[in-house]
Structure 1
Amino acid sequence: MKSIWINPVLNKEIKLRFRSFKSFLGVFFYLLAIGGIAIGFILLNTIFSYSSTFIFRPEQSRTMFMVLSFVQMALVLFMTPGLTSGVISGERERQTLNILLTTPQSSTSIILSKLFSSIAYLLLMMIASLPLYSIVFLFGGVSPSLLFITFGLYLVTMLTIGSIGVLFSTIIRKTIVATIITYGITLFITAGTAFITLFAVQFISYQSANQTSVFPYITSMFNPFIILFNAFEEGMATEINRISGIEFPMTAAFIISFLLISFLCLFISIKKLRPDKKVKKGAA
Protein backbone atom coordinates (compact mmCIF):
# COMPACT_ATOMS: atom_id res chain seq x y z
CA MET A 1 0.00 0.00 0.00
CA LYS A 2 2.87 2.34 0.77
CA SER A 3 4.31 1.86 -2.74
CA ILE A 4 1.08 3.23 -4.24
CA TRP A 5 1.34 6.58 -2.45
CA ILE A 6 5.13 6.91 -2.09
CA ASN A 7 6.97 5.76 -5.20
CA PRO A 8 9.60 6.99 -7.70
CA VAL A 9 6.98 7.92 -10.29
CA LEU A 10 5.16 10.27 -7.94
CA ASN A 11 8.42 11.75 -6.63
CA LYS A 12 9.67 12.41 -10.18
CA GLU A 13 6.42 14.00 -11.32
CA ILE A 14 6.20 16.24 -8.25
CA LYS A 15 9.79 17.42 -8.67
CA LEU A 16 9.36 18.12 -12.39
CA ARG A 17 6.21 20.17 -11.80
CA PHE A 18 7.39 22.19 -8.80
CA ARG A 19 11.01 22.83 -9.68
CA SER A 20 10.03 24.95 -12.66
CA PHE A 21 10.07 28.70 -12.16
CA LYS A 22 6.97 28.95 -14.35
CA SER A 23 4.97 27.01 -11.75
CA PHE A 24 5.68 29.50 -8.99
CA LEU A 25 5.19 32.37 -11.42
CA GLY A 26 1.76 30.97 -12.23
CA VAL A 27 0.86 30.81 -8.54
CA PHE A 28 2.07 34.39 -8.07
CA PHE A 29 -0.05 35.81 -10.89
CA TYR A 30 -3.03 33.73 -9.80
CA LEU A 31 -2.86 35.11 -6.25
CA LEU A 32 -2.33 38.58 -7.69
CA ALA A 33 -5.49 38.22 -9.77
CA ILE A 34 -7.56 36.82 -6.90
CA GLY A 35 -6.29 39.50 -4.55
CA GLY A 36 -7.04 42.16 -7.15
CA ILE A 37 -10.61 40.89 -7.49
CA ALA A 38 -11.10 40.94 -3.72
CA ILE A 39 -9.62 44.41 -3.23
CA GLY A 40 -11.43 45.78 -6.29
CA PHE A 41 -14.74 44.42 -5.02
CA ILE A 42 -14.22 46.11 -1.65
CA LEU A 43 -13.30 49.42 -3.26
CA LEU A 44 -16.31 49.35 -5.59
CA ASN A 45 -18.63 48.80 -2.63
CA THR A 46 -17.05 51.40 -0.34
CA ILE A 47 -15.00 54.27 -1.75
CA PHE A 48 -16.39 54.24 -5.29
CA SER A 49 -19.99 53.54 -4.32
CA TYR A 50 -22.79 56.10 -4.20
CA SER A 51 -23.36 55.39 -0.53
CA SER A 52 -22.35 58.03 1.99
CA THR A 53 -21.03 55.39 4.42
CA PHE A 54 -17.77 53.62 3.64
CA ILE A 55 -18.72 50.44 5.48
CA PHE A 56 -18.25 46.99 3.98
CA ARG A 57 -21.27 45.04 5.26
CA PRO A 58 -21.41 41.27 5.94
CA GLU A 59 -23.80 40.64 3.03
CA GLN A 60 -21.30 42.31 0.70
CA SER A 61 -18.58 40.12 2.16
CA ARG A 62 -20.69 37.05 1.38
CA THR A 63 -21.16 38.24 -2.20
CA MET A 64 -17.40 38.71 -2.56
CA PHE A 65 -16.87 35.18 -1.27
CA MET A 66 -19.30 33.89 -3.92
CA VAL A 67 -17.41 35.74 -6.65
CA LEU A 68 -14.06 34.35 -5.51
CA SER A 69 -15.51 30.84 -5.23
CA PHE A 70 -16.91 30.89 -8.77
CA VAL A 71 -13.62 32.22 -10.13
CA GLN A 72 -11.73 29.40 -8.45
CA MET A 73 -14.22 26.79 -9.67
CA ALA A 74 -13.76 28.12 -13.22
CA LEU A 75 -10.00 27.80 -12.73
CA VAL A 76 -10.37 24.17 -11.62
CA LEU A 77 -12.54 23.30 -14.61
CA PHE A 78 -10.22 25.11 -17.03
CA MET A 79 -6.85 23.85 -15.80
CA THR A 80 -7.56 20.27 -14.76
CA PRO A 81 -8.11 18.85 -18.28
CA GLY A 82 -4.92 20.48 -19.52
CA LEU A 83 -2.92 19.05 -16.62
CA THR A 84 -4.22 15.48 -16.79
CA SER A 85 -5.20 14.68 -20.39
CA GLY A 86 -1.59 14.15 -21.49
CA VAL A 87 -0.05 12.28 -18.58
CA ILE A 88 -0.08 8.85 -20.29
CA SER A 89 -0.38 9.79 -23.95
CA GLY A 90 2.55 12.18 -23.47
CA GLU A 91 4.68 9.30 -22.21
CA ARG A 92 3.57 7.28 -25.25
CA GLU A 93 4.45 10.09 -27.67
CA ARG A 94 7.89 10.49 -26.08
CA GLN A 95 8.31 6.70 -26.35
CA THR A 96 8.98 6.41 -22.63
CA LEU A 97 5.79 4.55 -21.68
CA ASN A 98 7.24 1.10 -22.40
CA ILE A 99 10.22 1.91 -20.21
CA LEU A 100 7.89 3.04 -17.44
CA LEU A 101 5.88 -0.18 -17.71
CA THR A 102 9.01 -2.30 -17.26
CA THR A 103 9.59 -0.84 -13.80
CA PRO A 104 8.37 -2.67 -10.68
CA GLN A 105 5.58 -0.08 -10.27
CA SER A 106 2.08 -1.46 -10.64
CA SER A 107 -0.51 0.02 -13.01
CA THR A 108 -2.43 1.35 -10.01
CA SER A 109 0.66 3.10 -8.68
CA ILE A 110 1.46 4.68 -12.06
CA ILE A 111 -2.08 5.94 -12.73
CA LEU A 112 -2.61 7.35 -9.24
CA SER A 113 0.83 8.96 -9.23
CA LYS A 114 0.14 10.65 -12.54
CA LEU A 115 -3.25 11.87 -11.34
CA PHE A 116 -2.13 13.18 -7.95
CA SER A 117 0.98 14.86 -9.30
CA SER A 118 -1.15 16.62 -11.93
CA ILE A 119 -3.76 17.99 -9.53
CA ALA A 120 -1.12 18.80 -6.89
CA TYR A 121 -0.45 22.09 -8.66
CA LEU A 122 -4.12 23.03 -8.39
CA LEU A 123 -4.12 22.03 -4.74
CA LEU A 124 -1.15 24.32 -4.20
CA MET A 125 -3.13 27.20 -5.72
CA MET A 126 -6.16 26.43 -3.58
CA ILE A 127 -4.09 26.29 -0.39
CA ALA A 128 -2.13 29.42 -1.32
CA SER A 129 -5.40 31.34 -1.76
CA LEU A 130 -6.61 30.54 1.77
CA PRO A 131 -5.01 33.65 3.34
CA LEU A 132 -7.00 35.81 0.91
CA TYR A 133 -10.19 34.38 2.34
CA SER A 134 -9.24 35.86 5.69
CA ILE A 135 -10.49 39.14 4.20
CA VAL A 136 -13.95 37.58 4.06
CA PHE A 137 -13.80 36.44 7.68
CA LEU A 138 -12.59 39.89 8.67
CA PHE A 139 -15.90 41.45 7.58
CA GLY A 140 -18.09 38.48 8.48
CA GLY A 141 -21.02 37.03 6.57
CA VAL A 142 -19.43 33.63 5.87
CA SER A 143 -19.10 30.70 8.26
CA PRO A 144 -16.04 28.40 8.33
CA SER A 145 -18.29 25.45 7.44
CA LEU A 146 -19.19 27.15 4.15
CA LEU A 147 -15.50 27.54 3.39
CA PHE A 148 -14.90 23.82 4.03
CA ILE A 149 -17.87 22.87 1.84
CA THR A 150 -16.61 25.09 -0.98
CA PHE A 151 -13.10 23.65 -0.92
CA GLY A 152 -14.54 20.15 -0.64
CA LEU A 153 -16.47 20.76 -3.86
CA TYR A 154 -13.23 21.96 -5.48
CA LEU A 155 -11.47 18.77 -4.46
CA VAL A 156 -14.23 16.45 -5.71
CA THR A 157 -14.47 18.34 -9.00
CA MET A 158 -10.75 18.35 -9.76
CA LEU A 159 -10.48 14.66 -8.80
CA THR A 160 -13.30 13.66 -11.16
CA ILE A 161 -12.29 15.88 -14.09
CA GLY A 162 -8.70 14.74 -13.58
CA SER A 163 -9.76 11.08 -13.63
CA ILE A 164 -11.63 11.67 -16.89
CA GLY A 165 -8.52 13.28 -18.36
CA VAL A 166 -6.33 10.36 -17.26
CA LEU A 167 -8.83 7.90 -18.77
CA PHE A 168 -8.76 9.48 -22.23
CA SER A 169 -5.02 9.97 -21.98
CA THR A 170 -4.73 6.20 -21.42
CA ILE A 171 -7.08 4.92 -24.12
CA ILE A 172 -6.23 7.53 -26.80
CA ARG A 173 -2.77 7.68 -28.30
CA LYS A 174 -2.71 11.38 -29.24
CA THR A 175 -2.53 14.00 -26.50
CA ILE A 176 -4.31 16.67 -28.54
CA VAL A 177 -7.29 14.39 -29.17
CA ALA A 178 -7.48 13.36 -25.50
CA THR A 179 -7.31 17.02 -24.45
CA ILE A 180 -10.08 18.09 -26.85
CA ILE A 181 -12.38 15.28 -25.69
CA THR A 182 -11.73 16.05 -22.01
CA TYR A 183 -12.44 19.75 -22.53
CA GLY A 184 -15.57 18.84 -24.47
CA ILE A 185 -16.87 16.70 -21.62
CA THR A 186 -16.02 19.46 -19.13
CA LEU A 187 -17.90 21.99 -21.26
CA PHE A 188 -20.93 19.72 -21.38
CA ILE A 189 -20.84 19.17 -17.61
CA THR A 190 -20.89 22.94 -17.04
CA ALA A 191 -22.59 24.84 -19.86
CA GLY A 192 -24.45 21.88 -21.38
CA THR A 193 -26.13 20.66 -18.20
CA ALA A 194 -26.94 24.25 -17.15
CA PHE A 195 -28.72 24.91 -20.44
CA ILE A 196 -30.58 21.58 -20.33
CA THR A 197 -31.63 22.18 -16.71
CA LEU A 198 -32.90 25.69 -17.47
CA PHE A 199 -34.78 24.46 -20.54
CA ALA A 200 -36.30 21.51 -18.65
CA VAL A 201 -37.44 23.68 -15.72
CA GLN A 202 -39.04 26.22 -18.06
CA PHE A 203 -40.72 23.50 -20.12
CA ILE A 204 -42.14 21.69 -17.08
CA SER A 205 -43.36 24.95 -15.53
CA TYR A 206 -45.04 25.87 -18.81
CA GLN A 207 -46.78 22.50 -19.11
CA SER A 208 -48.25 22.30 -15.62
CA ALA A 209 -47.54 23.71 -12.19
CA ASN A 210 -48.07 20.32 -10.57
CA GLN A 211 -46.10 18.26 -13.08
CA THR A 212 -42.92 16.55 -11.84
CA SER A 213 -39.88 15.19 -13.66
CA VAL A 214 -36.54 13.82 -12.45
CA PHE A 215 -34.73 15.17 -15.52
CA PRO A 216 -33.84 18.63 -14.09
CA TYR A 217 -32.52 16.99 -10.92
CA ILE A 218 -30.29 14.58 -12.86
CA THR A 219 -28.79 17.28 -15.08
CA SER A 220 -28.29 19.83 -12.32
CA MET A 221 -26.60 17.41 -9.91
CA PHE A 222 -23.75 16.99 -12.43
CA ASN A 223 -23.11 20.72 -12.73
CA PRO A 224 -20.42 22.01 -10.31
CA PHE A 225 -21.55 25.63 -10.65
CA ILE A 226 -25.15 24.81 -9.75
CA ILE A 227 -23.99 22.79 -6.74
CA LEU A 228 -21.65 25.59 -5.68
CA PHE A 229 -24.43 28.16 -6.00
CA ASN A 230 -26.67 25.84 -3.98
CA ALA A 231 -24.14 26.01 -1.14
CA PHE A 232 -24.84 29.76 -0.90
CA GLU A 233 -28.49 29.97 -1.90
CA GLU A 234 -30.70 26.93 -1.35
CA GLY A 235 -33.68 28.38 -3.21
CA MET A 236 -32.65 26.87 -6.55
CA ALA A 237 -32.20 23.40 -5.08
CA THR A 238 -35.54 23.66 -3.32
CA GLU A 239 -37.27 24.52 -6.59
CA ILE A 240 -35.56 21.67 -8.44
CA ASN A 241 -36.45 19.25 -5.64
CA ARG A 242 -40.07 20.37 -5.90
CA ILE A 243 -40.18 19.93 -9.67
CA SER A 244 -38.43 16.56 -9.60
CA GLY A 245 -40.18 15.22 -6.51
CA ILE A 246 -36.80 14.07 -5.12
CA GLU A 247 -35.94 15.12 -1.57
CA PHE A 248 -32.40 13.74 -1.54
CA PRO A 249 -29.86 16.59 -1.06
CA MET A 250 -28.40 17.64 -4.40
CA THR A 251 -24.93 18.26 -2.97
CA ALA A 252 -24.75 14.71 -1.62
CA ALA A 253 -25.92 13.37 -4.99
CA PHE A 254 -23.20 15.43 -6.71
CA ILE A 255 -20.45 14.08 -4.45
CA ILE A 256 -21.59 10.45 -4.73
CA SER A 257 -22.01 10.54 -8.51
CA PHE A 258 -18.69 12.32 -9.12
CA LEU A 259 -16.78 9.93 -6.86
CA LEU A 260 -18.33 6.97 -8.68
CA ILE A 261 -17.34 8.47 -12.04
CA SER A 262 -13.82 9.04 -10.73
CA PHE A 263 -13.53 5.46 -9.47
CA LEU A 264 -14.84 4.05 -12.77
CA CYS A 265 -12.46 6.16 -14.86
CA LEU A 266 -9.45 5.19 -12.75
CA PHE A 267 -10.44 1.53 -12.80
CA ILE A 268 -10.64 1.49 -16.61
CA SER A 269 -7.37 3.43 -16.87
CA ILE A 270 -5.57 0.89 -14.69
CA LYS A 271 -6.95 -2.02 -16.74
CA LYS A 272 -6.06 -0.38 -20.08
CA LEU A 273 -2.59 0.86 -19.15
CA ARG A 274 -0.82 -2.40 -19.86
CA PRO A 275 -1.65 -4.29 -23.06
CA ASP A 276 -3.33 -7.66 -22.75
CA LYS A 277 -0.83 -10.47 -22.73
CA LYS A 278 -2.55 -13.29 -24.57
CA VAL A 279 -0.64 -16.50 -25.01
CA LYS A 280 -1.30 -18.14 -28.35
CA LYS A 281 -2.39 -21.74 -28.35
CA GLY A 282 0.37 -24.16 -29.21
CA ALA A 283 3.08 -21.76 -28.14
CA ALA A 284 5.93 -23.27 -26.20
Structure 2
Amino acid sequence: MNSKLNWINPVLEKEFRLRMRSIRSPLSIFVYLVAIGLFALGFAYINTGNQPGGALSTTKSSELFYFLSCAQLVLIAFMTPGLTAGVVSGEREKQTLNMLLTTQQSSATIILSKLLSSLSFMLLTVVASMPLYSIVFLYGGVSPWQLLYVFIFYVFVMFLLGAVGIFFSTLLKKTVVSIIATYGFVLFIFGFTALAGIFFGKISSSTRNEEILGYFLSFNPMAVLLSIMMPDFTKQLFRGHTWLQMWHFFLGGYTILSVVLLWLSIRYLRPRMKQKKLNN
Protein backbone atom coordinates (compact mmCIF):
# COMPACT_ATOMS: atom_id res chain seq x y z
CA MET A 1 0.00 0.00 0.00
CA ASN A 2 1.35 3.37 -0.96
CA SER A 3 1.99 5.48 2.13
CA LYS A 4 2.67 8.72 0.25
CA LEU A 5 0.23 11.58 0.61
CA ASN A 6 -2.21 11.90 -2.27
CA TRP A 7 -1.35 15.51 -2.98
CA ILE A 8 2.31 14.72 -3.57
CA ASN A 9 2.16 13.84 -7.26
CA PRO A 10 5.16 12.44 -9.17
CA VAL A 11 6.03 15.80 -10.72
CA LEU A 12 6.07 17.56 -7.35
CA GLU A 13 8.05 14.74 -5.75
CA LYS A 14 10.62 14.84 -8.56
CA GLU A 15 11.01 18.62 -8.21
CA PHE A 16 11.46 18.38 -4.43
CA ARG A 17 14.07 15.64 -4.74
CA LEU A 18 16.10 17.37 -7.46
CA ARG A 19 15.97 20.77 -5.80
CA MET A 20 16.73 19.74 -2.22
CA ARG A 21 19.42 17.17 -2.96
CA SER A 22 21.61 19.61 -4.84
CA ILE A 23 24.39 21.50 -3.07
CA ARG A 24 23.11 24.65 -4.77
CA SER A 25 20.02 24.79 -2.55
CA PRO A 26 21.70 25.05 0.88
CA LEU A 27 24.39 27.24 -0.68
CA SER A 28 21.73 29.63 -2.02
CA ILE A 29 20.05 29.81 1.40
CA PHE A 30 23.43 30.46 3.03
CA VAL A 31 24.28 33.28 0.62
CA TYR A 32 20.81 34.77 1.11
CA LEU A 33 21.12 34.72 4.91
CA VAL A 34 24.62 36.19 4.77
CA ALA A 35 23.41 39.04 2.55
CA ILE A 36 20.35 39.89 4.64
CA GLY A 37 22.34 39.43 7.85
CA LEU A 38 25.01 41.86 6.71
CA PHE A 39 22.29 44.39 5.93
CA ALA A 40 20.83 44.06 9.43
CA LEU A 41 24.13 44.05 11.31
CA GLY A 42 25.50 46.91 9.23
CA PHE A 43 22.45 49.05 9.95
CA ALA A 44 22.59 48.19 13.65
CA TYR A 45 26.32 48.94 13.85
CA ILE A 46 25.94 52.35 12.19
CA ASN A 47 23.07 53.40 14.45
CA THR A 48 24.46 52.13 17.78
CA GLY A 49 27.78 53.94 17.55
CA ASN A 50 26.57 57.06 19.36
CA GLN A 51 24.02 55.37 21.62
CA PRO A 52 24.75 54.86 25.34
CA GLY A 53 25.51 51.23 26.06
CA GLY A 54 25.40 50.40 22.36
CA ALA A 55 21.62 49.88 22.40
CA LEU A 56 19.12 50.78 19.71
CA SER A 57 16.33 53.18 20.55
CA THR A 58 12.71 52.23 19.80
CA THR A 59 12.68 54.54 16.81
CA LYS A 60 15.89 53.11 15.40
CA SER A 61 14.58 49.59 16.02
CA SER A 62 11.51 50.39 13.92
CA GLU A 63 13.73 51.82 11.21
CA LEU A 64 15.79 48.63 11.28
CA PHE A 65 12.59 46.64 10.76
CA TYR A 66 11.63 48.83 7.78
CA PHE A 67 15.11 48.60 6.34
CA LEU A 68 15.32 44.82 6.82
CA SER A 69 11.87 44.24 5.33
CA CYS A 70 12.56 46.37 2.26
CA ALA A 71 15.93 44.71 1.71
CA GLN A 72 14.31 41.29 1.92
CA LEU A 73 11.65 42.31 -0.61
CA VAL A 74 14.40 43.34 -3.02
CA LEU A 75 16.12 39.98 -2.58
CA ILE A 76 12.81 38.17 -3.14
CA ALA A 77 12.24 40.15 -6.34
CA PHE A 78 15.77 39.26 -7.44
CA MET A 79 15.68 35.53 -6.62
CA THR A 80 12.13 34.43 -7.46
CA PRO A 81 12.32 35.03 -11.25
CA GLY A 82 15.51 32.99 -11.38
CA LEU A 83 13.74 30.06 -9.70
CA THR A 84 10.59 30.05 -11.83
CA ALA A 85 11.40 31.55 -15.23
CA GLY A 86 13.16 28.41 -16.47
CA VAL A 87 11.12 25.53 -15.06
CA VAL A 88 9.25 24.79 -18.30
CA SER A 89 11.66 26.18 -20.89
CA GLY A 90 14.44 24.26 -19.15
CA GLU A 91 12.54 21.02 -19.64
CA ARG A 92 12.08 21.96 -23.30
CA GLU A 93 15.79 22.71 -23.75
CA LYS A 94 16.75 19.38 -22.14
CA GLN A 95 14.22 17.67 -24.44
CA THR A 96 12.38 16.15 -21.48
CA LEU A 97 9.18 18.17 -21.81
CA ASN A 98 7.62 15.82 -24.37
CA MET A 99 8.32 12.89 -22.09
CA LEU A 100 6.67 14.73 -19.20
CA LEU A 101 3.61 15.52 -21.31
CA THR A 102 3.10 11.85 -22.17
CA THR A 103 2.50 10.97 -18.50
CA GLN A 104 -0.92 10.85 -16.88
CA GLN A 105 -0.34 14.20 -15.18
CA SER A 106 -2.59 16.99 -16.41
CA SER A 107 -1.27 20.34 -17.59
CA ALA A 108 -2.63 22.00 -14.44
CA THR A 109 -0.84 19.47 -12.23
CA ILE A 110 2.47 20.04 -14.04
CA ILE A 111 2.27 23.84 -13.93
CA LEU A 112 1.10 24.06 -10.31
CA SER A 113 3.65 21.48 -9.16
CA LYS A 114 6.46 23.42 -10.83
CA LEU A 115 5.21 26.62 -9.21
CA LEU A 116 4.77 25.07 -5.76
CA SER A 117 8.20 23.46 -5.73
CA SER A 118 9.90 26.73 -6.72
CA LEU A 119 7.95 28.83 -4.22
CA SER A 120 8.44 26.31 -1.41
CA PHE A 121 12.20 26.74 -1.73
CA MET A 122 11.84 30.53 -1.73
CA LEU A 123 9.50 30.31 1.26
CA LEU A 124 12.01 28.13 3.11
CA THR A 125 14.67 30.75 2.44
CA VAL A 126 12.51 33.57 3.81
CA VAL A 127 11.46 31.57 6.88
CA ALA A 128 15.12 30.84 7.58
CA SER A 129 15.69 34.59 7.91
CA MET A 130 13.11 34.99 10.70
CA PRO A 131 15.70 34.73 13.53
CA LEU A 132 17.24 37.96 12.21
CA TYR A 133 14.09 39.78 13.24
CA SER A 134 14.84 38.89 16.86
CA ILE A 135 17.18 41.92 16.79
CA VAL A 136 14.13 44.11 16.25
CA PHE A 137 12.04 42.47 18.97
CA LEU A 138 14.96 42.77 21.38
CA TYR A 139 14.70 46.58 21.33
CA GLY A 140 10.94 46.90 20.71
CA GLY A 141 9.06 49.29 18.45
CA VAL A 142 7.48 46.59 16.26
CA SER A 143 4.51 44.33 17.00
CA PRO A 144 4.38 40.64 16.02
CA TRP A 145 1.30 41.40 13.89
CA GLN A 146 3.33 43.72 11.70
CA LEU A 147 5.85 40.98 11.10
CA LEU A 148 3.04 38.52 10.27
CA TYR A 149 1.48 40.92 7.76
CA VAL A 150 4.86 41.51 6.13
CA PHE A 151 5.51 37.79 5.70
CA ILE A 152 2.04 37.24 4.24
CA PHE A 153 2.83 40.02 1.79
CA TYR A 154 6.10 38.29 0.91
CA VAL A 155 4.23 35.07 0.11
CA PHE A 156 1.86 36.92 -2.20
CA VAL A 157 4.71 38.67 -4.03
CA MET A 158 6.40 35.28 -4.48
CA PHE A 159 3.16 33.89 -5.91
CA LEU A 160 2.82 36.84 -8.29
CA LEU A 161 6.39 36.71 -9.58
CA GLY A 162 6.21 32.91 -9.72
CA ALA A 163 3.09 33.06 -11.90
CA VAL A 164 4.77 35.58 -14.20
CA GLY A 165 7.91 33.45 -14.43
CA ILE A 166 5.91 30.28 -15.18
CA PHE A 167 3.95 32.12 -17.87
CA PHE A 168 7.02 33.40 -19.70
CA SER A 169 8.75 30.05 -19.26
CA THR A 170 5.79 28.31 -20.93
CA LEU A 171 5.25 30.88 -23.65
CA LEU A 172 8.89 31.47 -24.61
CA LYS A 173 11.16 28.69 -25.81
CA LYS A 174 14.48 29.98 -24.44
CA THR A 175 15.24 30.17 -20.73
CA VAL A 176 17.42 33.26 -21.11
CA VAL A 177 14.65 35.15 -22.91
CA SER A 178 12.14 34.01 -20.29
CA ILE A 179 14.32 35.23 -17.43
CA ILE A 180 14.87 38.59 -19.14
CA ALA A 181 11.12 39.02 -19.69
CA THR A 182 10.37 38.17 -16.06
CA TYR A 183 12.94 40.63 -14.77
CA GLY A 184 11.45 43.17 -17.15
CA PHE A 185 8.10 42.71 -15.40
CA VAL A 186 9.82 43.16 -12.02
CA LEU A 187 11.41 46.38 -13.25
CA PHE A 188 8.02 47.53 -14.54
CA ILE A 189 6.11 47.09 -11.27
CA PHE A 190 8.93 48.48 -9.14
CA GLY A 191 10.03 51.35 -11.35
CA PHE A 192 7.43 52.28 -13.95
CA THR A 193 4.50 52.44 -11.50
CA ALA A 194 6.35 55.00 -9.38
CA LEU A 195 7.55 57.08 -12.36
CA ALA A 196 4.10 57.01 -13.99
CA GLY A 197 2.46 58.12 -10.75
CA ILE A 198 4.84 61.07 -10.44
CA PHE A 199 4.36 62.03 -14.10
CA PHE A 200 0.56 61.90 -14.17
CA GLY A 201 0.42 63.51 -10.76
CA LYS A 202 2.45 66.48 -12.05
CA ILE A 203 0.25 67.08 -15.10
CA SER A 204 -2.99 66.83 -13.13
CA SER A 205 -4.55 69.43 -10.85
CA SER A 206 -2.53 70.26 -7.77
CA THR A 207 -5.27 69.00 -5.44
CA ARG A 208 -5.09 65.48 -6.87
CA ASN A 209 -1.33 65.05 -7.22
CA GLU A 210 -0.87 62.82 -4.20
CA GLU A 211 -4.10 60.90 -4.84
CA ILE A 212 -3.10 59.95 -8.40
CA LEU A 213 0.37 59.04 -7.16
CA GLY A 214 -1.28 56.85 -4.50
CA TYR A 215 -3.27 54.88 -7.09
CA PHE A 216 -0.15 54.17 -9.14
CA LEU A 217 1.88 53.29 -6.04
CA SER A 218 -0.87 50.85 -5.03
CA PHE A 219 0.59 48.54 -7.68
CA ASN A 220 4.19 49.06 -6.55
CA PRO A 221 5.37 46.29 -4.17
CA MET A 222 7.80 48.50 -2.27
CA ALA A 223 5.24 51.26 -1.70
CA VAL A 224 2.59 48.77 -0.59
CA LEU A 225 5.06 47.18 1.82
CA LEU A 226 5.73 50.61 3.35
CA SER A 227 1.98 51.22 3.67
CA ILE A 228 1.61 47.91 5.54
CA MET A 229 4.37 48.83 7.97
CA MET A 230 3.28 52.50 8.21
CA PRO A 231 -0.54 52.86 7.81
CA ASP A 232 -0.27 56.66 7.90
CA PHE A 233 1.49 56.46 4.53
CA THR A 234 -1.82 55.58 2.82
CA LYS A 235 -3.74 58.32 4.66
CA GLN A 236 -1.18 60.87 3.60
CA LEU A 237 -1.54 59.96 -0.08
CA PHE A 238 -5.33 59.63 -0.30
CA ARG A 239 -6.17 62.19 2.41
CA GLY A 240 -9.18 60.20 3.54
CA HIS A 241 -10.83 60.23 0.09
CA THR A 242 -11.21 56.45 0.12
CA TRP A 243 -11.59 53.79 2.80
CA LEU A 244 -9.56 51.35 0.72
CA GLN A 245 -5.95 50.66 1.60
CA MET A 246 -3.13 50.41 -0.93
CA TRP A 247 -2.81 46.69 -0.36
CA HIS A 248 -6.48 46.24 -1.34
CA PHE A 249 -5.69 47.46 -4.87
CA PHE A 250 -2.46 45.46 -4.92
CA LEU A 251 -4.01 42.15 -3.88
CA GLY A 252 -7.10 42.56 -6.05
CA GLY A 253 -5.34 43.56 -9.25
CA TYR A 254 -2.41 41.17 -9.06
CA THR A 255 -4.55 38.21 -7.93
CA ILE A 256 -6.54 38.51 -11.13
CA LEU A 257 -3.33 38.87 -13.16
CA SER A 258 -1.72 35.83 -11.49
CA VAL A 259 -4.76 33.60 -12.04
CA VAL A 260 -5.00 34.64 -15.70
CA LEU A 261 -1.29 33.99 -16.30
CA LEU A 262 -1.48 30.55 -14.67
CA TRP A 263 -4.55 29.72 -16.76
CA LEU A 264 -2.71 30.74 -19.93
CA SER A 265 0.32 28.69 -18.87
CA ILE A 266 -1.86 25.62 -18.40
CA ARG A 267 -3.62 26.25 -21.71
CA TYR A 268 -0.46 26.63 -23.79
CA LEU A 269 1.71 23.99 -22.10
CA ARG A 270 0.64 21.24 -24.45
CA PRO A 271 0.96 21.78 -28.20
CA ARG A 272 -2.39 22.11 -29.93
CA MET A 273 -3.05 20.62 -33.30
CA LYS A 274 -4.03 23.21 -35.84
CA GLN A 275 -7.33 22.54 -37.46
CA LYS A 276 -7.03 22.27 -41.20
CA LYS A 277 -9.82 23.47 -43.39
CA LEU A 278 -11.27 20.73 -45.53
CA ASN A 279 -11.74 21.59 -49.16
CA ASN A 280 -15.10 20.44 -50.46
Matched, 1:122 2:122: yes
1:22 to 10, 21, 24: 24
1:53: Cα distance to partner? 5.3
Tell me how far apart the structure 1 counterparts of residues 255 and 8 of structure 2 sit (CA, whole Å): 23
2:272 alignment partner AA: D
User: Which piece of structure 1 moves more, 59-68 or 217-226?
Assistant: 217-226
Tell me how far apart the structure 2 counterparts of residues 123 and 13 of structure 1 sit (CA, whole Å): 15
Tell me how far apart the structure 1 counterparts of residues 55 and 214 of structure 2 sit (CA, whole Å): 40
Matched, 1:43 2:45: yes
8 Å contact from structure 1 (residues 157, 258) kept in 2: no
- After the TM superposition, which residues 1-284 of structure 1 pair with which residues of structure 2 at under 5 Å, given as runs? 5-46=7-48, 48-49=49-50, 51-52=51-52, 54-204=54-204, 207-209=205-207, 211=208, 215-242=212-239, 245-277=241-273
1:70: Cα distance to partner? 0.7
Question: For residues 276 and 213 of structure 1, do their structure 2 counterparts lie closer, same or farther at Cα, with a shift above 3 Å needed?
Answer: farther
1:29: Cα distance to partner? 2.3
1:278: Cα distance to partner? 5.5
2:218 alignment partner AA: M
Deviations 1:146-191 (A, max 9, x none): 0011111111111011101101111111111111111111101001
8 Å contact from structure 2 (residues 210, 238) kept in 1: no
Tell me how far apart the structure 1 counterparts of residues 8 and 64 of structure 2 sit (CA, whole Å): 39
Tell me how far apart the structure 1 counterparts of residues 209 and 192 of structure 2 sit (CA, whole Å): 21
- SS at structure 2 position matched to 1:192: helix
Question: For residues 137 and 267 of structure 1, do their structure 2 counterparts lie closer, same or farther at Cα, with a shift above 3 Å needed?
Answer: same
Structure 2: 5+ residue stretches without partners: none
The count of corresponding residues between Structure 1 and Structure 2 is 274
Tell me how far apart the structure 2 counterparts of residues 215 and 61 of structure 1 sit (CA, whole Å): 32
8 Å contact from structure 2 (residues 201, 210) kept in 1: no
1:52: Cα distance to partner? 4.6
2:253 alignment partner AA: S
Tell me how far apart the structure 2 counterparts of residues 227 and 263 of structure 1 sit (CA, whole Å): 20
1:215: Cα distance to partner? 4.5
Tell me how far apart the structure 1 counterparts of residues 56 and 236 of structure 2 sit (CA, whole Å): 31
1:212: Cα distance to partner? 7.0
1:236: Cα distance to partner? 3.2
Question: Percent of counterpart pairs with the same letter?
Answer: 44
Deviations 1:30-53 (A, max 9, x none): 21222222222222222x22x455
- SS at structure 1 position matched to 2:54: coil
1:280: Cα distance to partner? 5.6
Tell me how far apart the structure 2 counterparts of residues 198 and 37 of structure 1 sit (CA, whole Å): 29
Q: State TM-score, norm by structure 2.
A: 0.90
8 Å contact from structure 2 (residues 40, 64) kept in 1: yes
1:217: Cα distance to partner? 3.9
